[in-house]
Structure 1
Amino acid sequence: MRLAWGEVVEVLETRLGLQRLAVRVDGRDAVAVCLPSLTGACAAGDRVLLNTTAVDLDLGTGGAHFIVARDDERGFSDASGGHIMKLRYTPLQRDVLAVEEQASEHAEALRDADDLGGVPVVCCPLHSHVLPVAAAIKEGVPDARVVYVMADDAALPLAISDAVAQMRAVGLLDGTVTTGHAFGGDLEAVTLHSGLLAAVRVLSADAVVAAIGPGVPGTGSVFGHGGVAAGEAINAVAALRGAPVAALRISFADPRERHRGVSHHSFVALGRVALARARVAVPRLEPPEADVVERALESAGIWERHERVIVDARMPDTRGVPMRSMGRSPHDDPVFFLAAAAAGSVAASLIRRPRRSRA
C-alpha cells in the first residue's frame, strides 16, 4: 500500500455516492475518486490523503487514486441508523442499515423469507454483462422490474460503476442491492442470499441480474478469479428456489488464450463451482465460432450438469448507454455481448405474471 498527501484542484464530477476530482499529488496532476459516504465530500482546496497503490501498480482502476481522508478538523459523520458494519475491521468500516435487521422497515418481510418463487436470476461472471443482460430483459418484457444484486467479489462501492449510474438514468435498472461488503445500493444486505430475497420481496423484481462489481480480479489460476462468483450465485439461486440462468463469458477478440472462445472462468463456474442445475444461454453463432463454442462446452462436461438453451440473440437496445468490456465495444467483440444478451432473453422468457406486489 502507498498513501500520499495531495490537494484537490477541482471537482470534475458529482453523482450519487461518488465525486471525481482533479488533484495534485507528488508534484503531478492526477484524477482521484472520492466516496463521500466514507470520507465526506471534497471541495477545491482540500488537503487529502490518497491511496495511490493501484495507479502506481498500473492496475485497472480507471487511472484514479482514491481519497482516504480529508484534512478537516470538523471531522465527518454520516450515521445510517443501522448496526451492520461493512468493510469490517478496516479503518474505513462504516455502519449501514441492512435490509434484514430489526431496525429496517423491511425486517418483517424478510424475517422468514426463504423462497424466490421461481424468479429468474441471471448469474454473470463479469460486471460488463449487466448492461446487455438487463437491456435484453427489458426488450423481452418492457415493463419488467429488473434489479441488480452486486456481490462483493470485485469492486465494493456500487457508485464506482458508470454503467449502473447510466442504466438507472434511462430505466434499464429498477433497483440495486449490495451484498456482503459491497455497499451503496438502494438496499444493503448481509449476504448474497438475503440480497436476492430482498430484490424480489422488497423491490418486487421480475428478474434479477446477479454479478460482481467492476474490476474483476484474476490470477490465471483455476480458482483465483472473480468468475467463481457466478457459480456461487447459481447455488444461491437454486437454494432459494429461483430460476438460475448462466451468462457465458465468450470472446473471439481477447488476446489471452484462457479467455478465447469460452473463457476458463465459465468452465470453472459451471463445471466445478455450480452444484445446482442452471439454464445456460448459448447465442446462435455461425461456423467456425459456433463449432469452437460447442466443442468447448461439450468437452468441459457442461451439458452433463446444465441445460443448454440456444438463443437467436441480437444486440439489445441499451438506450444510449455504451457497452464496453476490457476496452472493447460490440464492434470489436460482438460475441461477448451477444452471449450476455442471450442470457437476458432467456430470463425474460421465464418471467411470470402477475407480478408480485411490493412488500
Structure 2
Amino acid sequence: MPNFAVWTVVKILDERADLQRVELSDNSVAYVLKNVIGRVREGDAVVVNTLAVDLDLGTGGQHVVHWILGSEGSQEQHSGRIIKARYLSEQCELDPVLSSRTDLAGARVLFCVLHSHVAAIAASVRLPNFAYLMTDQSALPMALSDLVAELRDAGLLGITATAGQAFGGEVEAVNVPSGVAALLDKGYSQIVIAGGPGHLGTNTILGFSALDIASHAATLSALGADVALCVRASETDPRPRHNGVSHHVQTILRATATPLNVPIPVGEPSDWILELGHRPHQTKPLDVSGFVDNLPSVLESMGRPLSEDAVSCAYIGSAAHWLVGEA
C-alpha cells in the first residue's frame, strides 16, 4: 500500500505546462501533476506519496504530491466525456478525440520497446509530422516524460497522443487503434507507439510491460496499418538476456500471430526473424548516435548513454529508416 507524509513546499524548482518539480521541507524533491491536483505554491502544505523513494525505484523514484492540504493550490475545472486513471482518487475527466474510420489504411506504425527509443527515433528522422502515441503499459501521465518535453522544445514532435488509461497527450484516445485513427484524421501517418517512462521487467520471459505490443501490433495490422517493431539490442548491456537482440523482442514476435516488419541493419542475421514468422527488412541505419548527441541532454537507455552502444544505435537507425519509408 502507499506510504504518505505531510511536508511543506519550500521552492518551485521547475515548471512546465502540466508538471512542477518542487523542493519540500525535508529537503527532498517531488513532482506535481498539475492537471490532476492543480498547481502548488511555495508555503503549501502537501500530502506526499513516498512509496517510489522508499522502494528506491529507478525512473519513477521520486515523491509524488498527492494532495494540497486546505486546497490552497490553484485548480482548473475540466469537463469531458471519459474518465482516465479510472477508480483511483486521481481519476480525471477528459474529452477523447474520436474518428469515424473503420480501418487504419495509410498508417505507418513503429512500435518501440523502451521509451528512450522514441527520442532516438524522433531525433533521427526529424519529421515535421512525427507523431508519438503513448500507451498505458508504463507511466500513465505523459507529463512525467522529460524526453517528450525536450522533444517538443526542440521542434521534433509534431503531435502526441495518449491511449487507454494514459493521459496528457494532445490527443486523448480511448484505445490504441482509435488513437491511430485520430492521428490519421489530423494528417499524421508516421506514428511511433511506445509506453511512457518506467518500463517494468521482472527477469522472466513473459513478465515485462512491453509484451502488450504483441496484441496492439496484431490489431493494427488487422485493421490495415503497416506495422514494424524496433529491435531492442545492445552490445553494452551486461545482462545476457538483453545483450545482442533482447529476449523482449523475441518474445513479442513469438506472441504476435500477424506477421510484422522487423527492420535490421544490412548484413545482420535475419533467420531468427523468419523462424518466428515475421518479415525482416534490411536497411541502412540512420546515424542515431550523431543525432542523439545533438539533443540538449544525454539520452540514456537503462542508465547508459545510448550513443555509446553502437549495436543499439544501428538497430534503432534501421527502424528510423523504415519509418520514413526508405528501404
TM-score using structure 1 length:
0.84
Change over 3 Å in CA distance of 1:73–1:244 after alignment to 2: closer
Q: How far is the alpha carbon of 1:117 from its aligned partner?
A: 2.2
Q: Quote the residue 1:135 is aligned against.
A: 123
- Count of residue correspondences: 322
Q: Is the 8 A contact 1:87 1:181 kept in 2?
A: yes
Q: How far is the alpha carbon of 1:34 from its aligned partner?
A: 0.3
* 1:345 alignment partner, one of 312, 321, 324: 321
Q: How far is the alpha carbon of 1:323 from its aligned partner?
A: 2.2
Q: How far is the alpha carbon of 1:332 from its aligned partner?
A: 3.0
**Secondary structure, aligned partner of 2:110:** strand
The amino acid that maps onto 2:235 is F
**Secondary structure, aligned partner of 1:99:** coil
In structure 2, C-alpha distance between the alignment counterparts of 1:123 and 1:63, rounded to whole Å: 26
* 1:122 alignment partner, one of 97, 110, 128: 110
Structural mapping, 1:93-108, within 5 Å: 93-100=91-98
Q: Quote the residue 2:176 is aligned against.
A: 192
Q: Quote the residue 2:35 is aligned against.
A: 37
Q: How far is the alpha carbon of 1:350 from its aligned partner?
A: 6.0
Q: Deviation per CA, 1:210-237: give whole Å up to 9, x if none.
A: 0000110111222211121222331132
In structure 2, C-alpha distance between the alignment counterparts of 1:335 and 1:309, rounded to whole Å: 16
Query: Quick one: percent identity of the two aligned structures?
Result: 34
Structural mapping, 1:13-92, within 5 Å: 13-24=14-25, 28-61=26-59, 63-73=61-71, 77-92=75-90
Change over 3 Å in CA distance of 1:327–1:341 after alignment to 2: same
In structure 2, C-alpha distance between the alignment counterparts of 1:35 and 1:152, rounded to whole Å: 17
Q: How far is the alpha carbon of 1:342 from its aligned partner?
A: 1.4
Change over 3 Å in CA distance of 1:232–1:118 after alignment to 2: same
Residue 254 (str. 1) matches residue 228 (str. 2)? no
Change over 3 Å in CA distance of 1:74–1:327 after alignment to 2: closer
Structural mapping, 1:205-244, within 5 Å: 205-244=188-227
Q: Quote the residue 1:105 is aligned against.
A: none
Q: Quote the residue 1:158 is aligned against.
A: 142
* 2:295 alignment partner, one of 302, 317, 320: 320
**Secondary structure, aligned partner of 2:169:** coil
Q: How far is the alpha carbon of 1:91 from its aligned partner?
A: 0.8
Q: Quote the residue 1:104 is aligned against.
A: none
In structure 2, C-alpha distance between the alignment counterparts of 1:302 and 1:32, rounded to whole Å: 47
Change over 3 Å in CA distance of 1:120–1:350 after alignment to 2: farther
Q: Is the 8 A contact 1:158 1:213 kept in 2?
A: yes
Structure 1, unpaired ranges of 5+: 101-109, 352-359
Q: Quote the residue 2:151 is aligned against.
A: 167
Which deviates further from its counterpart, 113-122 or 49-58?
113-122
In structure 2, C-alpha distance between the alignment counterparts of 1:84 and 1:302, rounded to whole Å: 42
